[in-house]
Chains A and B, each alone.
Chain A
């Protein structure tokens, strides 16, 4: 799976964001906010301590160069960690600022009980109020269209400039505050009070104002704190050991060893990774209500995908005419075309096209026929045309059979119907004047490349289940063609919910998307429920993500983003811990250079002097945070391969790499430090 990066072109190295982040990095030094990040908080405490020693050295008139440099780099370590978080937040803040513009004061036209329209400020609207929105007006708050139809420009939230249709009833009734009506007028019942609208929540989300640590992030923080504690024990006990050996180790050295050992790299980047994960979703035009949902997306085991629009193109296409014995195929095609001329559904149009392309039958001129068209209704389940003596009907197979009466059904008819159904198609009967002419094969066209997507998902260990209202026979055929692992035929909100519960009962995490009000229970039950932005308000409330593009295929990308976030965390944690090996080899010989010069044999990097060794280690430790910011924000690349090969690859890069790289890095810095005469 490939994750298309940044579609809205906000580069990470945006100058304004970086400038703001530099300032924020300093503001974040406030210990009250820093305490949320225990590892970096500890670094700050040690920085203060070493700075105090530096000042004491300075006042005593002694050599303060070394303690000064260590103190400076300790502060840099804190600042770099803050900077990482600030950059990650900066991207969201910039987006929030542009969103805020569309939330500017609106005047709403409220309709009171007697039907009078009065102008009130948008902020005074309450849930339940009904407002009139006319062409050119900004919709004042979130709501449900209760009357009318309008085209709405939702680019303020979706970034998509093409207008969308919003109408009362059905699944396209939700409107969002801050969007603009382009044509017609609608009456909207307000569902959200000012301050708690979708836009408000979106701003809060992208700003990270309400960001809470996810469960996995909390567990990771505990791990990092635990490691920090272990290294407190390891470094504090060194002093008595050294005293026994007849030497003593300066506090600055102990502080340096301690800071290089504790996992500052992942500690500094942890929150940036989380924010960047949310941000990546936002740039995919998906809003998650919590980081927890993003994390859950990475864990998803089962994807419930709606057939229509996700797996198939959505419209069925006529692909074959099957004539009954004694009926000319040309005749059948002509009759079917005639019956479909006024049928504006995609299926109807595809019949006209097929008859024209395959049999060269040109669409008849309607006027000269003087025909009367019979529209499709849910009761008759057929449509057709009457002109003169001729009456043509096309429609559901059972409806046509019922129409022609109780006579014997030709064997060929039954065969054709069954063959089409088995192949996943929909058979459509055609009759003329009570006589069966034949069957039209309406084919469900599976999207190109979707089979490969599912194979990828399978390799990732994710099961795909196709949800469809079709009968089991049809569903099975399409499921086989698309390569899904399972399907739910004749789906209803109830059995959809039951399926989710069953999967969850077996310990699986389920993701699904939906738009209708009747999807709401299933969306709420699913571990990851992605509501379509075109959907109803109920659906949007029930899910824990909203897809602004209303593209159900995106579920697959969402899973990828969740996985990417977890992988980035794991990789940088592994890297950070693996780094410790080299740091011991740099600092231990330096620390005891005076007491036990023999330990110089451990100086396998051949660092210039004890001071330069310690300084190089601490500089490396600080710079690696900055160097890894791009990776933390971009995320470790996710590939749709099995867990075993992912682990092998990442363990080689971040585990082994994490052991080896600091040896080279510290050595290079040492050469520089020695060349510049810093220590």
Chain B
């Protein structure tokens, strides 16, 4: 670890923290229906949209209606994308004349983009037409992100409201999020990225002759607009196969910093939106603090492991940390930091090859995802995921103050515990269950590039990334096979929707409850003590069950490496 490295980490954290309140305040006002500075321009557009869709902008939905709207919207998006991919050969904007996407890959990809996962079993520039990229995929980058944010708002309302059966209106939340948050931010970020040298055009690929005289095809296209929302919406699906490691997709250290900040900015801001909406910003900061501690622990483990380097290679006389699979323009700290951020949030963009990380460096992204990406997390998903852990932490420890547990004046009872567990069970089931299935499935192991614990990590990472709706790949696993396309597709679906529905159930029940006035006898949830408790519950309840799997993957690899054995 170098001073320069530590400074860059501190700089990143400072920028994110400075943005928390402005973002949080903006979204709190926006979703409460108040005027924001963009209202004069966008409010008429919003009204026209509601009128066109026949939606009453003031109507409220019961949680079941909210869930049904959300599911319907996503199902339609899923079907349209599937069709676009299957028929891209006859659809416009296909200058490279790419063929139709095969059924299993289209299934996987449609789910992947609908669920905000952006797992890419394909290489973008060799598989997807411009039309598919823009209409099929980029649209989802907006809508899946907006879905996540809308859901977080619904969950926030569970605590900010009392004795009300409704959670807001999905269509209104979705529209506002797209119009006022995602579109303006993407526009600004895309322009900045273009300034940093990112292409933004609809031209065919360029064929160049290299210095050695070889022919090279240089892919391009509407990159900047894709990348902006890919980061802001924690989507992570790259325009190019190399994702954010590609020089066109992440040209400079500044573009790298901006992209990292873009991954966190909305998720971090939502903690403050939460605090403001429950009328106690400290509650938001407590959640942000718990996220921050887990995040920094991850950053330092990953950075430490990478900076420490590979002892076997160092024994050969090569100085310095582990640079395998990293871009020289980012170096060790920005690769480790990026990897931690992209898996803490459910982004999945990568600027280095996680498979080439040191075992402990690779463990951090895995664990981040296994915890459910509750560290800032996917836009919206991170907040409601963390709030589910809050519900659990309050229930477990809240009784220790001699009262039945309550959070922000809402009693946590059987219903909340049952539904929270339903939501939390989904991740270990999908991650561990499908990994076990793949290990037992004939021929599934042929996709592995490496043997032993490292090969195990490749499979575990794939399902973990899918179920957590992250989308980053460990690399090494050839995932574009019918088996992986289908199983990872299912993992993504249940990791998203089987978690959301019970979560909305928790929210609906809580919103309907009375709010109890706080007293000296109620459990304080804004203190460092609570932050510590929350972290403990996240690690013990959310993380411990993955310990056997981690022990058989990165952990054993780490010890083996120390003993001079590689896989």
Binding site for B on A (CB under 8 A): 215-216, 218-220, 222-223, 226-227, 229-231, 233-245, 261, 295, 298-299, 301, 458-463, 506-508, 562-564, 566-567, 569-571, 573-574, 577-578, 580-581, 584, 588, 591-592, 596, 598-599, 601-602, 636, 638, 642-644, 646-648, 650-651, 654-655
Which of B418, B523, B545 has a CB less than 8 Å from the CB of A231? B545
Let me know if A222 and B433 touch, CB within 8 A. no
Let me know if B435 and A241 touch, CB within 8 A. yes
A-B contact pairs, 16 of them (CB 8 A): A222-B421, A230-B425, A234-B548, A237-B549, A242-B552, A244-B445, A245-B552, A460-B402, A461-B519, A507-B514, A571-B400, A578-B540, A596-B556, A643-B402, A647-B401, A647-B530
* Contacts A570-B399, A571-B400; A238 near B519 (Cβ below 8 A): no
Q: Which of chain B's residues have a CB closer than 8 A to the CB of A654? A: 400
Let me know if B521 and A301 touch, CB within 8 A. yes
Q: Which residue of A lies closest to B392 (CB)?
A: A223
* Contacts A588-B548, A599-B556; A643 near B425 (Cβ below 8 A): no
Let me know if A237 and B432 touch, CB within 8 A. yes
Please name 8 further chain A to chain B contacts, defined as beta carbons within 8 Å, in addition to the given A223-B395, A226-B417, A298-B404, sorted by A numbering. A215-B413, A241-B436, A458-B520, A567-B399, A596-B453, A638-B402, A642-B521, A647-B400
Let me know if B399 and A566 touch, CB within 8 A. yes
Distance from B564 Cβ to chain A, minimum over Cβ atoms (Å): 11
Q: Which residue of A lies closest to B513 (CB)?
A: A507
CB of B439 within 8 Å of the partner chain: yes
* Contacts A216-B404, A563-B402, A601-B559; A233 near B397 (Cβ below 8 A): no
* Contacts A462-B519, A570-B400, A655-B533; A219 near B552 (Cβ below 8 A): no
Q: Which of chain B's residues have a CB closer than 8 A to the CB of A242? A: 552
Q: Which of chain A's residues have a CB closer than 8 A to the CB of B547? A: 584, 588
Q: Which of chain B's residues have a CB closer than 8 A to the CB of A229? A: 421, 425
* Contacts A215-B414, A218-B414; A577 near B433 (Cβ below 8 A): no
Q: Which of chain A's residues have a CB closer than 8 A to the CB of B429? A: 233
CB of B412 within 8 Å of the partner chain: yes
A361 to B257, CA, bound (A): 96
Residue count of chain B within 8 Å CB distance of chain A: 67
Let me know if A569 and B399 touch, CB within 8 A. yes
A298 to B411, CA, bound (A): 14
Distance from A243 Cβ to chain B, minimum over Cβ atoms (Å): 7
Let me know if A596 and B545 touch, CB within 8 A. no
Q: Which of chain B's residues have a CB closer than 8 A to the CB of A233? A: 425, 428-429, 432-433, 545
A222 to B417, CA, bound (A): 7
A234 to B520, CA, bound (A): 40
Which of A460, A592, A642 has a CB less than 8 Å from the CB of B551? A592
Let me know if B397 and A643 touch, CB within 8 A. no
* Contacts A461-B521, A563-B402, A581-B540; A573 near B551 (Cβ below 8 A): no
* Contacts A223-B421, A299-B404, A643-B524; A234 near B399 (Cβ below 8 A): no
**Residues of A contacting B: mostly:** helix
Q: Which of chain A's residues have a CB closer than 8 A to the CB of B432? A: 233-234, 237
Give 5 closest A-B pairs by Cβ, nearest first: A461-B521, A570-B399, A563-B402, A226-B421, A461-B519
Distance from A646 Cβ to chain B, minimum over Cβ atoms (Å): 5
A391 to B499, CA, bound (A): 87
Distance from A506 Cβ to chain B, minimum over Cβ atoms (Å): 6
A601 to B555, CA, bound (A): 10
Let me know if A573 and B396 touch, CB within 8 A. yes
* Contacts A298-B402, A592-B551, A638-B402; A643 near B517 (Cβ below 8 A): no
Binary flags per residue of B277-298, CB closer than 8 Å to A gives 1, else 0: 0000000000000000000000
Q: Which of chain B's residues have a CB closer than 8 A to the CB of A301? A: 516-517, 519, 521
Q: Which residue of B lies closest to A458 (CB)?
A: B520
CB of B159 within 8 Å of the partner chain: no
CB of B508 within 8 Å of the partner chain: no
Let me know if B540 and A643 touch, CB within 8 A. no
Looking at B398, B401, B520, which has the most chain A CB atoms within 10 Å of its CB? Answer: B401
* Contacts A219-B413, A222-B418, A598-B560; A241 near B402 (Cβ below 8 A): no
Q: Which of chain B's residues have a CB closer than 8 A to the CB of A642? A: 520-521
Let me know if B552 and A241 touch, CB within 8 A. yes
A234 to B541, CA, bound (A): 12
Let me know if A564 and B563 touch, CB within 8 A. no
Let me know if A241 and B549 touch, CB within 8 A. yes
Distance from A264 Cβ to chain B, minimum over Cβ atoms (Å): 16
A220 to B404, CA, bound (A): 11
Q: Within B413-461, which residues are at the interface with A (CB < 8 Å)? A: 413-414, 416-418, 421, 424-425, 428-429, 432-433, 435-437, 439-440, 445, 452-453, 456
Let me know if A643 and B403 touch, CB within 8 A. yes
Let me know if B529 and A648 touch, CB within 8 A. yes
Q: Which residue of B lies closest to A642 (CB)?
A: B520
* Contacts A237-B436, A461-B520, A580-B544; A646 near B400 (Cβ below 8 A): yes
* Contacts A462-B521, A599-B556, A642-B521; A574 near B400 (Cβ below 8 A): yes
Q: Which of chain A's residues have a CB closer than 8 A to the CB of B519? A: 301, 461-463
Q: Which residue of A lies closest to B441 (CB)?
A: A240
Which of B409, B412, B456, B544 has a CB less than 8 Å from the CB of A241? B456
* Contacts A238-B548, A588-B547; A566 near B404 (Cβ below 8 A): yes
Q: Which residue of A lies closest to B402 (CB)?
A: A563
CB of B527 within 8 Å of the partner chain: yes
Let me know if A651 and B439 touch, CB within 8 A. no
A122 to B397, CA, bound (A): 51
Distance from A401 Cβ to chain B, minimum over Cβ atoms (Å): 46
Distance from A334 Cβ to chain B, minimum over Cβ atoms (Å): 53
Q: Which of chain B's residues have a CB closer than 8 A to the CB of A588? A: 547-548, 551
Binary flags per residue of B166-204, CB closer than 8 Å to A gives 1, else 0: 000000000000000000000000000000000000000
Distance from A281 Cβ to chain B, minimum over Cβ atoms (Å): 15
Which of A227, A599, A601, A651 has a CB less than 8 Å from the CB of B529? A651
Distance from A651 Cβ to chain B, minimum over Cβ atoms (Å): 6
Let me know if B440 and A240 touch, CB within 8 A. yes
Q: Which of chain A's residues have a CB closer than 8 A to the CB of B412? A: 219
CB of B62 within 8 Å of the partner chain: no
Let me know if A602 and B555 touch, CB within 8 A. yes
Q: Within B523-567, which residues are at the interface with A (CB < 8 Å)? A: 523-524, 527, 529-530, 532-533, 536, 540-541, 544-549, 551-552, 555-556, 559-560, 563, 565
CB of B246 within 8 Å of the partner chain: no
Distance from B389 Cβ to chain A, minimum over Cβ atoms (Å): 13
A520 to B248, CA, bound (A): 79
Distance from B310 Cβ to chain A, minimum over Cβ atoms (Å): 16
Looking at B392, B395, B416, which has the most chain A CB atoms within 10 Å of its CB? Answer: B395
Let me know if A577 and B400 touch, CB within 8 A. no
Let me know if A598 and B563 touch, CB within 8 A. yes
Let me know if A230 and B545 touch, CB within 8 A. yes
* Contacts A643-B523, A647-B529; A567 near B551 (Cβ below 8 A): no
A654 to B396, CA, bound (A): 12
Let me know if B548 and A241 touch, CB within 8 A. yes
CB of B109 within 8 Å of the partner chain: no
Let me know if A577 and B541 touch, CB within 8 A. yes
Q: Which of chain B's residues have a CB closer than 8 A to the CB of A458? A: 520
CB of B522 within 8 Å of the partner chain: yes
Q: Which residue of B lies closest to A229 (CB)?
A: B425
Distance from A244 Cβ to chain B, minimum over Cβ atoms (Å): 4
Q: Which of chain B's residues have a CB closer than 8 A to the CB of A573? A: 396, 399
A19 to B342, CA, bound (A): 61
A99 to B514, CA, bound (A): 42
Q: Which residue of A lies closest to B527 (CB)?
A: A644
A402 to B567, CA, bound (A): 107
Let me know if A574 and B397 touch, CB within 8 A. yes
Looking at B396, B412, B546, B563, which has the most chain A CB atoms within 10 Å of its CB? Answer: B396
Q: Which of chain A's residues have a CB closer than 8 A to the CB of B520? A: 458-461, 642-643
Looking at B523, B549, B551, B559, which has the most chain A CB atoms within 10 Å of its CB? Answer: B551
Q: Which of chain B's residues have a CB closer than 8 A to the CB of A601? A: 559
Which of B425, B433, B439, B544 has a CB less than 8 Å from the CB of A226? B425
